[in-house]
Each structure stands twice: as C-alpha cells, then as structure tokens.
A and B are shown apart, each in its own frame.
Chain A
Amino acid sequence: MAEIFNLSEAVARFVNDGDIVAMEGFTHLIPFAAGHEVIRQKRRDLTLIRMTPDILYDQLIGMGAARKLIFSWGGNPGVGSLHRLRDAIERGWPRPLEIEEHSHAGMANAFEAGAAGMPCAIFRGYQGSDLARVNPNIKFVTCPFTGEQLASVPAIRPDVSIIHAQKADRAGNVLVEGIVGVQKEAVLAARRAIATVEEIVDQLPTRSPNAVVLPSWTLSAVTAVPGGAHPSYTHGYYPRDNSFYIEWDEISRDREKFLAWMQTNVLEAHPEDFAARPPLRRIEITA
C-alpha cells in the first residue's frame, strides 16, 4: 500500500546505491522532480533504464549517478544530441558508462514481460539489424508451433520505477491520462515504485471506466510535486517547455557550464521550486 511521503523521504527510503532504476514517461510526464531528488541525494552506480533518455538522464549521467544505461533512443527531441550522454560514451566523463541498446519495440516488450512476470519477451523484431550483433541480450528463438524465428530479450525488472502523473487520491490511487507510455508496465514490473503527482485530491475525478489507474497497492510511495514533470509536460496542467529543451543544448555542451547550472537549479533547489517552473499557458483537455 502506498504511503504518502514527501519526495526526499520517498527517495531516501526506496532508491539505493546500485539499484536498477526506471524513470519512465514518453515525452509526457517525465519525473524530473524525482530525478533531481535522486541527484541531490547523491545516489551512485545506478543502472538507469528508460526508452527515451532525454534531459533528465543527461543530468543524472553528467552528475555521475549511473554506471549503466539501458535505452532505445537517446537524444534531445527535436533539438539534437544529449551532450552529457555523448561525453560519457565517447570520453568516459565524468565516469565510463556501459550501454545496453535496444529498439523501442524491444524495450516496450521487455517492460510488458516484466509486468507480466515473465523471464523474457518474445516478439517479431531486430530482423537484419546490427543491434542484435552488439547487444548480447538480444537473442532469437524458434516458435514451437510455426518454426518462425522470433526475437527475445530479457524482461525488465527494476528495483524501483519512478513515474509522474496527474492525480492521486488520499488512499494513494494514481490516475494517469494522455500519452501513457510504458508507465503502467514500469510500475507493475518493479519491486518498488514511486509516483509523484500534480495534486492529491479527496476523490479522483469522473473518468472513463477504462482510465489508467494504478491502485495504491501497486506503489510504495505517492508524493505531490506540482510542476514535477517540468520541462516535460502534464496533460491538463501545463504545456511542454520547448524553449528549455532548446536552451539545454547550450547549457549541456560545456562541462563547467553544466555543473554550474546543476549546482544552482538542482543541488541548491527543492522539490517545491517546481511549482513555479512550468510555462503558464494551461492546456485545455480535449473532451
């Protein structure tokens, strides 16, 4: 059963050095506030999993929190490279980073297999791709019924998954809306899970009977962090801060400039600071 914590208690209690950590959110609902708390608490030797490592993982990697990255697309969407990720891969700064690289189909299937309690995923993929040549965790199996050769990857089983969502009720049930990515699978695949939300309400609002709700008993901790997905966005609350994604390109290009930015905006900042960060325009939810 999820307990309602503040963010620093939740990270202190459920994220350990050396953990396998998945922070998910497919462009939308990226748990920036929680990731910054992991950086402030100086977690080390993490294996970071994420389909689309973008700015948040650039920050974690640049601060030396990770020893390994499992991913399928690493970039600053619509802008270009992740300079801290590239510095770690190409020059080992601030420490060497081991990578395990997949396709989106491979990662999505692996999360789903983790949620389903399976040891591996089986799907039609990686045909003719050099990814299978450089990643020993991509294997092929033969279908026992048709003889077709199919791809297989190990299930993703994080020690802890971290997501951001719109709302939780006071019992800790969490509602996720919009582009839902692999958040549900990431939570159900993990041994422990933390959800940050925009707000905690007495009752979840009227919704489709098929809405994505993660029951309280699938989560370890729920914590309210308004604005906690910034510069990513929260559907129904605030838009994506596209201009910050563009600014990040300059900030992250240079090691010293990056470290100075992290000092001011992460190490000396607090989860409450996120409330004032998102752009003001409110998105109307399309009915």
Chain B
Amino acid sequence: MSYTSSEMMTVAAARAVSNDDICFVGIGLPSAACNLARLTHAPRVTLIYESGTLETRPGVLPLSIGDPELCETALTTVAVPEMFRYWLQGGRITLGFLGGAQVDRFGNLNSTVIGDYAKPKVRLPGSGGATEIATSCGKTFIIMRHNPRSLVAQVDFVTSMGHGRSGVERQALGVKTQGPALLVTDLCIMTPDAATNEFVVASIHPGVTRERIQENTGWPVRFAQTVTETAAPTNVELQALRELNDRTARAHGVAASD
C-alpha cells in the first residue's frame, strides 16, 4: 500500500509505545499515535488524558482534551487537581507524549509564543499540561512535522524543558526523570546522544535523504554512527490508522489528525 509521510510519522511514533507504558497523551498527533499503538501492537497500553480520564479507550480520536468519548470509555475519571497532583506529580506516569510549535536539538518545546513574549508575532495556546508532563513523566516522546520553522536552533520560549538550553540544565536542576527520549517527524526518528543529550538522526524514513533532513532542520544535524531505514508502514498499521481517521472524521465532521 502507498502511504503519506504523515502516516509514516504516526506509525513510527506508535511503534515506540509499548503495552507496559502508562502514557499521558497530548491532543492531536500524540493522541493519534498512542491510539494507533493501542489498536495494533499494544492493546494493553494505559492512556491518560489531562481531563482526568484514566485508562481511556476512545473509538475515535478526541477533538478536545475533554471529549465525552474519553470519559465514557475510561476506567474512571478523576478531578483535574488530582490528575496533576497524585497521578502526574506522584510519579505514576511512565511516558509523556508531546507536540508543540517549536523544538530545539535538546528537546526543549515551545507552545507559547513565536517572537517576543511581551509583543508576540504569534500567540500560541500555551502550556496546558505540557510544562509538568515534560518533567514528571518517566520519559517523553515528541512528535512534530519536520520543517525549519518547527525544528529550530533556539526555541523562542521554553514552555516545557527538555534537557535545557545548553543540554545540561535538566540535570543541573536535579530533575530525576529521563526527559526527551525520542523525536519522531515525517522525515526521520531522532534519539538523544548519550553524552551531549543532542538529538541525532537514528533512522530515516524510506525515500528521504540526509540532505532533505538537513534542509528542513534549523541546526547542523548530526547522524548516528549507524543509521537505519525506518520500516515502511505495514498494511495492518495503515488500515488501522485509516479506519481510525475515518471514524474520527465521521464523528466530528473533521479529521483530528491527517
């Protein structure tokens, strides 16, 4: 089956989610990836949304973080302060799955403003849960479309800390969780270098060149010693993703992801 680069991205991100993960899910691309994982190889993955829905199993992708579908299919629903205090801050979540408008090579995320905070060029929605998801989950995965406006040398605002502006601040602040462990885009998969915490390309999606990755990245890209080719989406993965998107489009009148 032929597939789009966006489908490749969602499938690659879904593969990184396992049955053992207790996953705090952001809306949009992360939600598509986590639910695809649940519908394919990881049926026992635990999905949690910040509206307080624990162990939710939505049949369609939610348009908002508090869609009825999330509550109706959850094991239980807790109040939002309990969600953030007991479940997130309490260390119960193994994986946070985030997106954003900008990411830098150290996995710092911006979902607040483009330009100066006081006089923004573009005012974005802001943190939501992301700031503490980034530091309280066992580790975080990031999913973003790959272009020079999104993968930037310096984020305009650190909404959610990855490894910090120079890659060492996270450790210096004594944050005990691992932080960004994976960046999945529509061109490649990046993982942090063990010594510097800088994202390096670990796997390239079929048909994508190193030059194209560099052209679309705002910093000088480093490639791992051994770079693999990402396995193309299987028919099973594509069918599950397309059915999920079709159900979502019928339910909302719009697709919640591509």
Report which A residues bind B (CB closer than 8 A): 26-28, 51-52, 71-75, 77-79, 81, 85-86, 89-90, 101-106, 108-109, 111-112, 123-131, 134, 148-149, 178-182, 184-185, 212, 233, 235, 239-240, 242-243, 245-246, 283, 285-286
> Is B132 touching A125 in the complex (CB atoms < 8 A)?
yes
Known A-B contacts A28-B71, A104-B50, A283-B72; A126 and B81 likewise in contact (beta carbons under 8 Å): no
> Is A105 touching B88 in the complex (CB atoms < 8 A)?
yes
Kindly state the separation between the CA atoms of A134 and B112 in the bound complex, as whole angstroms: 11
> Is A78 touching B126 in the complex (CB atoms < 8 A)?
no
> Is B85 touching A112 in the complex (CB atoms < 8 A)?
yes
Interface with A: B9-17, B58-66, B181-189, which one? Answer: B58-66
The interface residues of chain A lying within 8 Å CB-to-CB of B67 are 27, 240
Closest partner residue, chain B, to A245 (CB atom): B63
Known A-B contacts A90-B120, A103-B127; A77 and B175 likewise in contact (beta carbons under 8 Å): no
> Is A235 touching B68 in the complex (CB atoms < 8 A)?
yes
Kindly state the separation between the CA atoms of A91 and B65 in the bound complex, as whole angstroms: 29
Known A-B contacts A28-B71, A109-B84, A128-B135; A73 and B128 likewise in contact (beta carbons under 8 Å): yes
Interface residue? B77 (CB, 8 A): yes
Known A-B contacts A104-B80, A109-B85, A283-B68; A131 and B131 likewise in contact (beta carbons under 8 Å): yes
Q: Which of A51, A86, A126, A285 is in CB contact (< 8 Å) with B123?
A: A86
Kindly state the separation between the CA atoms of A71 and B127 in the bound complex, as whole angstroms: 10
Known A-B contacts A105-B88, A180-B52; A125 and B68 likewise in contact (beta carbons under 8 Å): no
Known A-B contacts A27-B64, A104-B80; A74 and B169 likewise in contact (beta carbons under 8 Å): no
Closest partner residue, chain A, to B177 (CB atom): A127
Q: Which of B41-96 contact A (CB under 8 A)?
A: 50-53, 62-68, 70-73, 77, 79-81, 83-85, 88-89
The interface residues of chain B lying within 8 Å CB-to-CB of A75 are 124-126
- Rounded to whole Å, the gap between the CB of B58 and the closest CB of chain A is 12
The interface residues of chain A lying within 8 Å CB-to-CB of B253 are 242-243, 246
Interface residue? B164 (CB, 8 A): yes
- Rounded to whole Å, the gap between the CB of B180 and the closest CB of chain A is 12
> Is B81 touching A239 in the complex (CB atoms < 8 A)?
no
Closest partner residue, chain A, to B179 (CB atom): A128
- Rounded to whole Å, the gap between the CB of B31 and the closest CB of chain A is 10
> Is A128 touching B71 in the complex (CB atoms < 8 A)?
no
> Is A78 touching B64 in the complex (CB atoms < 8 A)?
yes
Interface residue? B252 (CB, 8 A): yes
> Is A102 touching B85 in the complex (CB atoms < 8 A)?
no
Kindly state the separation between the CA atoms of A74 and B158 in the bound complex, as whole angstroms: 17
List 22 A–B pairs whose Cβ atoms lie within 8 Å, in order of A's numbering: A26-B66, A27-B65, A28-B51, A71-B126, A77-B63, A78-B63, A78-B64, A78-B256, A102-B127, A104-B129, A105-B129, A109-B84, A112-B85, A124-B132, A126-B132, A127-B175, A128-B161, A128-B175, A129-B131, A131-B131, A149-B174, A181-B52
The interface residues of chain B lying within 8 Å CB-to-CB of A127 are 135, 161, 173, 175
Closest partner residue, chain A, to B79 (CB atom): A180
Kindly state the separation between the CA atoms of A167 and B253 in the bound complex, as whole angstroms: 30
Known: A27-B64, A74-B125, A78-B252. 6 other contacts (CB 8 A): A27-B66, A104-B84, A124-B136, A125-B132, A179-B51, A243-B253
> Is B125 touching A73 in the complex (CB atoms < 8 A)?
yes
- Rounded to whole Å, the gap between the CB of A89 and the closest CB of chain B is 5
Closest partner residue, chain B, to A54 (CB atom): B64
> Is B68 touching A74 in the complex (CB atoms < 8 A)?
no
Closest partner residue, chain A, to B173 (CB atom): A127
The interface residues of chain B lying within 8 Å CB-to-CB of A129 are 127, 131, 158-161
Q: Most chain-A CB neighbours within 10 Å: which of B68, B118, B135, B169?
A: B68
Interface residue? B3 (CB, 8 A): no
Interface residue? B219 (CB, 8 A): no
> Is B27 touching A77 in the complex (CB atoms < 8 A)?
yes
- Rounded to whole Å, the gap between the CB of B12 and the closest CB of chain A is 23
The interface residues of chain B lying within 8 Å CB-to-CB of A212 are 79
Q: Most chain-B CB neighbours within 10 Å: which of A73, A184, A233, A286?
A: A73
Contact mask for chain B residues 157-174; partner A; CB cutoff 8 A; 1 contact, 0 none: 111110010000110011
Kindly state the separation between the CA atoms of A77 and B50 in the bound complex, as whole angstroms: 13
Kindly state the separation between the CA atoms of A134 and B130 in the bound complex, as whole angstroms: 17
Closest partner residue, chain B, to A73 (CB atom): B128
Q: Most chain-B CB neighbours within 10 Å: which of A52, A148, A235?
A: A52
Q: Which of B63, B79, B128 is in CB contact (< 8 Å) with A103?
A: B128
Closest partner residue, chain B, to A239 (CB atom): B68
The interface residues of chain B lying within 8 Å CB-to-CB of A89 are 120, 123
Kindly state the separation between the CA atoms of A124 and B136 in the bound complex, as whole angstroms: 8
Closest partner residue, chain B, to A127 (CB atom): B135
